[in-house]
């Protein structure tokens, strides 16, 4: 009842409701679709999972694992960078809540924008806050998982070539954790893509619908149809310069 009254006071139109519902359904729907579709078709995640297991198998064979440590350090830095940027964005959005009237006036002066109330603008900002809070949790969990994998690399013994079976569980364990970290990092990045679509809601609900569809299309093309994926799954990928 309170939520309905808030929506009425915010002067939310049916088009705003449709745009927001389409945004949520598209995000959740694509997340479910990508997981299920990856079981039947090649994807970036499944292709990289194979290389992650190969990496851990080679890591076990090495005496000096500085290469592996540096790889883990670079992966962790990427997650730390996005986690830090996400916190700065959240700080800016929360600070913007204190300047709603000025923001409303600025948005109203933009061309092709739909006039809205102050409460509706607060809802739009709150949506962005929720998206980036979600992204921060994903990036921070990816950091912890990569830290766990660093410990596994340090605890891994050198594998004698004549007896390899006993080290298979350790290889699989480390590969799975790096895969989990990659999934969380990817979900955090995906939140950034959808945040761009949500940002267009400030201009027009139809633009948000179009931007959401465009984001889903880009994500699908990159995950299941990209040249990068083709290069990863090809057994003998010959480099083509300039493409």
116 pLDDT exceeds 80? no
The tens digit of pLDDT for each residue in 193-211 reads: 999 999 998 888 999 999 9
**What mean pLDDT is predicted for residues 176-203?**
94
pLDDT at 242: 44
Q: Which helix (H) or strand (E) holds 1?
A: none
The tens digit of pLDDT for each residue in 13-33 reads: 888 899 999 999 999 999 999
The tens digit of pLDDT for each residue in 53-96 reads: 999 988 888 878 888 889 999 999 999 999 999 999 999 988 88
11 pLDDT exceeds 70? no
Confidence of residue 162 (pLDDT cuts 50, 70, 90): low
Longest CA span, the chain: 74
φ/ψ bin of 112: left (φ > 0), alpha (ψ from -120 to 50), beta (otherwise) = left
């Amino acid at each position: 009842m309170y939520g309905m009254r808030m929506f009425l006071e915010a002067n939310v139109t049916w088009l705003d409701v449709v745009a927001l519902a389409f945004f949520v359904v598209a995000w959740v729907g694509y997340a479910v679709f990508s997981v299920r579709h990856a079981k039947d078709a090649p994807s970036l995640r499944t292709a990289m999972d194979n290389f992650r297991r190969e990496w851990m198998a080679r890591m076990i064979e090495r005496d000096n694992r500085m290469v592996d440590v540096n790889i883990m350090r670079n992966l962790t830095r990427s997650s730390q960078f996005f986690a830090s940027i996400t916190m700065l964005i959240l700080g800016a959005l929360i600070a913007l809540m204190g300047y709603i009237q000025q923001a409303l006036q600025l948005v109203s002066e933009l061309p092709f924008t739909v006039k809205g109330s102050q409460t509706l603008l607060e809802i739009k900002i709150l949506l962005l806050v929720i998206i980036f809070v979600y992204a921060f949790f994903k990036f921070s969990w990816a950091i912890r998982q990569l830290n766990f994998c660093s410990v596994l690399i340090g605890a891994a013994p050198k594998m004698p070539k004549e007896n390899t079976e006993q080290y298979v569980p350790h290889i699989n364990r480390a590969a799975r954790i790096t895969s989990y970290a990659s999934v969380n990092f990817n979900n955090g990045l995906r939140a950034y893509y959808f945040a761009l679509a949500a940002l267009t809601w400030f201009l027009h609900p139809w633009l948000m619908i179009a931007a959401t569809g465009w984001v889903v299309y880009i994500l699908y093309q990159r995950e299941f149809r990209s040249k990068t994926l083709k290069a990863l799954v090809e057994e003998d990928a010959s480099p083509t310069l300039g493409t």
